[in-house]
Structure 1
Amino acid sequence: MAALNASVEKAKERRGEHEGRGATVHDLPKRPAKKRTAAKKTARKKATTAKKTG
């Protein structure tokens, strides 16, 4: 594990990354929850089959 940590540190130094100079993290603003409306369903047409007499 120590070898892995040392390798990571060397890689960071080569890339120019320094301790404390990483990315900054900001919290996202809270948005009010949107109210969801129920989906409207269309009425289904009933399929009728006519019997052919023959």
Structure 2
Amino acid sequence: MKASLFLSLTLLILSGCSATWSGIKEDTHSLSDWTKKQVNESATYVQEKTK
């Protein structure tokens, strides 16, 4: 009985962790794209102002 309860809880936790991990990867990818865009816009602005 304890083993099946432990197994059920473990599977529940692991399934939640995989969903969380997917969300983390998606958020990180979105953040890196946003950061690249901001850096490129800033560099373009500085380049325009220094010409």
Query: What's the TM-score once normalised by structure 2's chain length?
Result: 0.28
Normalized per residue, which structure has more helix? 2
Query: What's the TM-score once normalised by structure 1's chain length?
Result: 0.28
Structure having greater relative contact order (Cα 8 Å, sep ≥ 6): 1
